[in-house]
C-alpha cells in the first residue's frame, strides 16, 4: 500500500438532530469531501501522493466543517466549498497552509495519536 505524502481528513459526521449537538454534516461536509476528492484528482502531480478521505467525528464539532491535513497536523474549520481549491493548491500542493481558514488542533482530541 502506498503511503500518501499528505492526506486530508474531512469530517462528514451527521448527528441526529435529536442529540442537540452540532455536527459537520450540518455544514455540507459530504459535498466538501467530494469536492476535495475531485480537486485532488484533477491536479495530480507526478511523484506526489495526495489523498483526501471522509472521516467520522474529529472532535471539535461546533463551527464546522472540520478537516485536518496530516502529517502536518494543520486543522481547518468553518470553511466552505469555495475554499476547497485554495486549500488543495496552497497547502496540499504548495506546502503553504491557508492561514485565514486554520484553527487550533483540538486539545481534547487524540486524532493525532490514532492516525
Give me the residues that bind ligand FES (CB under 6 A), please: 11, 13, 23-24, 57-61, 64, 66
**Other residues' Cβ atoms within 10 Å of the Cβ of residue 4:** 17
State the nearest-atom distance from the C-beta of 48 to ligand FES, in Å. 27
Least distance between ligand FES and beta carbon 68 (Å): 10
- Please give the helix or strand (H or E) that residue 108 lies within, else none: none
Beta carbon nearer to ligand FES, 15 or 43: 15
What is the enclosing helix (H) or strand (E) of 10? strand 6-11
Q: Which is nearer to ligand FES, 56 or 95 (CB)?
A: 56
Report phi then psi at 23, rounded to 5.
-145, 165
Report, in Å, the least distance between residue 59 CB and ligand FES: 5
Taking the complex as a whole, the smallest distance from the CB of residue 42 to ligand FES amounts, in Å, to 26
| Nearest CA-CA partner of 40 in 24, 53, 51 | 51
Between 67 and 92, name the residue whose CB sits nearer to ligand FES. Answer: 67
**Closer by beta carbon to ligand FES, 4 or else 59:** 59
Residues 62-84 as b/e (b if ≥16 CB within 10 A, e otherwise) read eebbbbbbeeeebbbbebeeebb
Amino acid at each position: 500500500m502506498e503511503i500518501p505524502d499528505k492526506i486530508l481528513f474531512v469530517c462528514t459526521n451527521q448527528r441526529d438532530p435529536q442529540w442537540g449537538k452540532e455536527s459537520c454534516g450540518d455544514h455540507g461536509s459530504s459535498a466538501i469531501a467530494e469536492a476535495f476528492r475531485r480537486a485532488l484528482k484533477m491536479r495530480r502531480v507526478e511523484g506526489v501522493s495526495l489523498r483526501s478521505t471522509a472521516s467520522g467525528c474529529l472532535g471539535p464539532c461546533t463551527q464546522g466543517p472540520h478537516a485536518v491535513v496530516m502529517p502536518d497536523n494543520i486543522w481547518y474549520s468553518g470553511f466552505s466549498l469555495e475554499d476547497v481549491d485554495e486549500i488543495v493548491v496552497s497547502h496540499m500542493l504548495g506546502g503553504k497552509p491557508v492561514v485565514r481558514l486554520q484553527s487550533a488542533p483540538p486539545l481534547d482530541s487524540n486524532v493525532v495519536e490514532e492516525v
